[in-house]
Chains A and B, each alone.
Chain A
């Protein structure tokens, strides 16, 4: 088996605030194979965005990657210098952000913002760089790219801006794209278009994708594998269809149950009671146990991610095994 594009092992990213140490990411592990799409799912504050920023080396003060390995083609990114990281960013690893209205600099033209990305990593003439930008804009479905290059971000709609951001991410044909909820701020129809576009590009170019989202329906259609995060940890992972059909961890179970379309009409919508615990003083053991209907006294002891069935892991001692067994 060839080396995976990205292998994250026991990643720990902590924020050293005045109120104490916030363990935003505390022991996250997953693997993304070449050309594969990993859905990283979780609620707000579960650490999925910080995980993304940790991989690309953009965790801001007072946060720091304090432990674990981020192996990109076997090379540990956590050990690289800032300049070595800069050469990777936007070149071999790209990132797409959540809010397309905020990711493009409002006072710079699209061509400036694209061409600078090309020139940051390759020595080509300005004209060649421009040509490359024009082609990439066309590739992500922007009509008359030559004219659009001369526009400013505010002259684009949200969906178009996200296409520009995706084009920027694709300029160097990266091996890995980290997409942080890139369709959350968009209309459903635009969301569908962008998803289809990205999927097509990933298949055509062999790019691996980490798709960070809280929307299970997006992951269901797009991802090969899924990792569910809760309070800074991966609580369950496995192939997407199996995890969504037969969730093992009670949290995943509740999350899937909370999707409104899965509920029966006329019945009150199902929900997970309570709220995510504060990351400042996380109790040992299962972080979900205060909201879990299966919790027992044993759940207060530390629990590792365990392989429960072939290719499927969960961090739980009372998993929903009956579904798998059946």
Chain B
């Protein structure tokens, strides 16, 4: 187990190193931040001073090595725009995105799993057909459109829910969270629902196909032949087997929601990381972009590790030692 974790850690470091290089070169290739950051009417002297101050006068490989050297010490650079440490900038915005993504994922599991189970157990009932038709909508309706419709109905016409911002926040673990206050939760509902629609559909379909596949297995029939109650067959024998694919996909979905919930955050003016990264890309704020992507990579690594560990508890055939 320890060996396994150590190997995973080493792999993670290599992935992050490769990622940093790709991102660094990629952002460099997009364009020169100087053109955007420095006012066009600045003279040559000011220009050069600014370039030097940002460290942009050095050749790329030197810039990269400097970045790497500082990154090892926990300094991912300062934002060109805000002149604040990039890491701090991102971490400030992180709780907003985290609570949104986790809320949406929770909703996907809490709603999607029971619906999928029902649709899998009674595939021919009218309810199942309605669920499956709904899941097609959930898959194919564009997020931004659903978001706008939600605002139109629940904020503008009915006036039940606020349409923008995080609302009131409360302090917890040194960060500010919305889900701890009533007002904050009211603000959270619509963006979370908007984000979760696609995920609910995904979980419904995965669960349904898993249930239908598992129900045909000999071990389910054998469980019934043992005289177990239908409830025990479904919730122990079938359920534990379908959790494996669901856990995988939900894990990856959580990661991608945290990283790329840009559209929803923009529509609901949710001050999360997605909005920060889009703004940073627009002004080519390289340290923020690089730091952001590094954090995202790390997060994916952690989520994947968590999924793998969960796997080994769900499926006894999975051995974490792997091939030596």
- A residues sitting closer than 8 Å to B (CB atoms) are 56, 58, 60, 86-91, 94-95, 97-99, 102-109, 112-113, 116-117, 120-121, 152, 154, 165, 168
Contacts and interface: CB of A to CB of B under 8 A. Distances in A.
Contacts of A99: 218
Given A97-B221, A97-B222, A102-B218, A108 B236 contact: yes
Contacts of B222: 95, 97, 103-104, 165
A120 B228 contact: yes
A116 B232 contact: yes
A117 B219 CA distance: 13
Nearest to B217: A102
Contacts of B219: 102-106
Nearest to A121: B227
A56 B223 CA distance: 13
Interface stretch (B7-15, B165-173, B312-320): B312-320
A107 B240 contact: yes
B316 A117 contact: no
12 contacts: A60-B221, A86-B229, A88-B227, A89-B227, A103-B219, A103-B222, A105-B219, A106-B219, A106-B317, A116-B228, A120-B226, A154-B316
Nearest to B237: A105
Interface string B211-252: 000000111011111111100100011001100000000000
A296 to B, nearest CB: 43
A8 B310 CA distance: 49
A12 B5 CA distance: 59
Contacts of A121: 227
Interface string B132-175: 00000000000000000000000000000000000000000000
B226 A117 contact: yes
Contacts of A120: 226-229, 232
Contacts of A87: 227
B226 A58 contact: no
A108 to B, nearest CB: 7
Given A116-B226, A117-B227, A121-B227, A107 B316 contact: yes
Contacts, number: 77
Contacts of A116: 226, 228, 232, 236
Nearest to A98: B218
Query: Would you call the interface of chain B mostly helix, strand, loop, or mixed?
Result: helix
A97 B317 CA distance: 22
Given A105-B219, A108-B237, A113-B223, 10 more contacts: A56-B225, A87-B227, A89-B225, A94-B225, A97-B221, A102-B219, A106-B316, A117-B228, A120-B226, A165-B222
Contacts of B236: 108, 112, 116
B: contact size bracket: 20 to 34
B232 A154 contact: no
Contacts of B226: 89-90, 94, 116-117, 120, 168
Interface in B190-229: 217-219, 221-229
A97 B226 CA distance: 12
Interface string B246-261: 0000000000000000
Task: Please indicate which of the listed interface residues B218, B237, B315, B317 has the most CB atoms of chain A within 10 Å of its own CB.
Answer: B218
A316 B236 CA distance: 49
Contact of B316 (A56, A102, A152): A152
A105 B232 CA distance: 13
Contacts of B227: 86-91, 117, 120-121
Nearest to B223: A105
A103 B316 contact: no
A88 B224 CA distance: 11
Nearest to B225: A95
B257 to A, nearest CB: 28
A36 B179 CA distance: 69
Contacts of A58: 221, 224-225
B232 to A, nearest CB: 7
A154 B225 contact: no
Nearest to A103: B222
Contact of B218 (A56, A94, A97): A97
A121 B225 CA distance: 12
Q: Which 3 A-B pairs have the closest CB atoms?
A: A90-B227, A102-B218, A90-B226
A107 B224 CA distance: 17
Nearest to B214: A105
Contacts of A103: 218-219, 222
Contacts of A56: 225
B179 to A, nearest CB: 34
A142 B237 CA distance: 24
Nearest to A105: B219
A205 B57 CA distance: 91
Contacts of B317: 106, 152, 154
A107 B315 contact: yes
A19 B218 CA distance: 25
Given A90-B226, A117-B226, A107 B241 contact: yes
Nearest to A99: B218
A237 B236 CA distance: 42
B297 to A, nearest CB: 32
